């Protein structure tokens, strides 16, 4: 997983980079293939904003979050991305390949 972090009206410190990388680590557990995450952190007056775009084998997921501080916004963003990637993973799983009741009964 490659994470690109950019800032608008904010200097992206090494602490913020490390925090984003730490929070986005769990996104990589859903898919074996590597994917790209482009993250933008921005500040507008008192508004702390984080948004991310995930490119995954032809599909693009976008999420954004606002928080009282930048760390809270990153937490909310990671949760949103985690839910959307988990939903995509469950959608891709073929539920018809499991053992059916008739197949199990025939073997018994």
pTM of the model: 0.80
Distance in angstroms (rounded) separating the CA atoms of residues 70 and 49: 7
Cβ(76)–Cβ(67) below 8 Å: yes
The residues spanned by each domain of the chain are: 2-94
Residue 97 φ/ψ region, left for φ over 0, alpha for ψ in the -120 to 50 degree band, beta for the rest: alpha
Closest alpha carbon to 37 in 96, 90, 78? 78
Give the model's pLDDT for residue 97: 59
The CATH topology of domain 2-94 is: Double Stranded RNA Binding Domain (3.30.160)
Task: Provide the residue-wise pLDDT of the chain in tens; the chain has 108 residues.
Answer: 889 999 999 999 999 999 999 999 988 888 877 889 999 999 998 899 999 999 987 789 999 999 999 999 999 999 999 999 888 888 877 666 555 544 444 455
Give the model's pLDDT for residue 54: 93
């Amino acid at each position: 997983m490659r994470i690109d972090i950019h800032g608008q009206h904010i200097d992206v410190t090494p602490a913020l980079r490390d925090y984003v990388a730490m929070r986005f680590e769990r996104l990589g557990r859903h898919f074996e293939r590597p994917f790209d995450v482009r993250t933008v952190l921005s500040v507008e007056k008192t508004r702390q904003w984080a948004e991310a775009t995930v490119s995954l084998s032809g599909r693009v997921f976008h999420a954004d979050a606002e928080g009282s501080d930048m760390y809270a916004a990153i937490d909310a963003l990671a949760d949103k991305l985690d839910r959307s990637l988990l939903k995509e993973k469950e959608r891709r799983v073929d539920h018809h390949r499991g053992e059916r009741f008739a197949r199990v009964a025939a073997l018994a």
